[in-house]
Amino acid sequence: MALAKAILALENGLTIEGEAIGAVGTECAGELVFNTALTGYQEVLTDPSYTGQIVTFTYPHIGNYGVNVDDVESDRIQASGLVVHELSPIVSNYRANRSLQSYLEESGVAGIQGVDTRMIVRVLRLEGAMRSIIAHGDSLDPRELVERARAIPSMSGLDLTPLVTTQAPYEWQGASDAEWDYRPEVGSQPVRKRVVAVDFGVKRNILRRLAHHGCDVTVVPATTSASEILALNPDGVFLSNGPGDPSAVTKAIGTVKDLLGKKPIFGICLGHQILSLAIGASTYKMKFGHRGANHPVKNLRTGQIEITSQNHGFAVDPYTLPANAEMTHVNLNDQTCAGIALKDVPAFAVQYHPEASPGPHDSDYLFEDFLALM
Do both 292 and 342 map to the same domain?
yes
Q: Which domain holds residue 71?
A: 5-150
Residues 178 and 302 in one domain: yes
The last residue of one of the domains, among 88, 119, 150, is 150
**Pairwise CA distance, residues 192 & 216, whole Å:** 7
Quickly state the pLDDT bin for 147 (edges 50, 70, 90): very high
pLDDT for position 164: 98
What pLDDT does 176 receive? 54
Q: Is the pLDDT of residue 1 over 90?
A: no
What pLDDT is recorded for position 188? 61
Q: What is the pLDDT, as a whole number, of residue 186?
A: 73
Mean pLDDT over each residue of the chain, to the nearest integer: 96
Write the pLDDT tens digit of every residue in 115-137. Answer: 999 999 999 999 999 999 999 99
Going by pLDDT thresholds of 50, 70 and 90, the confidence category of residue 2 is: confident
Within a domain: 328: yes
Percent of the chain residues past pLDDT 90, beyond the cut: 94
Q: Cα 104 to the chain's mean position, in Å? A: 19
Three-state SS for 45-79 is HCCHHHECEEEEECCCEECCCCECCCCCCCCCCCE
Among all residues, which ones are annotated catalytic? Answer: 269, 353, 355
Evaluate if residue 341 carries a pLDDT over 70: yes
- How many other CB atoms are found less than 10 A from the CB of residue 333? 14
- Answer whether residue 180 shows pLDDT above 70: no
pLDDT range class, residue 175, cuts 50, 70, 90: low
CATH number at residue 44: 3.50.30.20
The predicted pLDDT at position 174 comes to 73
Residues 196 and 268 in one domain: yes
Same domain, 77 and 45: yes
Q: Tell me, what's the pLDDT at 178?
A: 60
Residue 15 domain-assigned (yes or no): yes
Are 144 and 283 in a shared domain? Answer: no
pLDDT tens-digit map of 15-35:
999 999 999 999 999 999 999
124 lies in the same domain as 183: no
pLDDT, residue 3, reads 83
184 lies in the same domain as 328:
yes
Q: Is residue 156 part of a domain?
A: no
CA distances from 313 to 103, 116, 181, 307 (A): 26, 23, 29, 19
DSSP 153: P
CA dist 173 and 152 (Å) reads 38
Query: Is 106 in the same domain as 253?
Result: no
Mean pLDDT of 62-87: 97
Do 165 and 139 share a structural domain?
no
Query: What's the pLDDT tens digit per position in 277-307?
Result: 999 999 999 999 999 999 999 999 999 999 9
Of the residues 116, 150, 184, the one at which a domain ends: 150
Same domain, 220 and 100: no
Q: What pLDDT is stored for residue 312 in this prediction?
A: 98
Q: pTM of whole model > 0.85? A: yes
Q: Based on the structure, what is the number of domains in the chain? A: 2
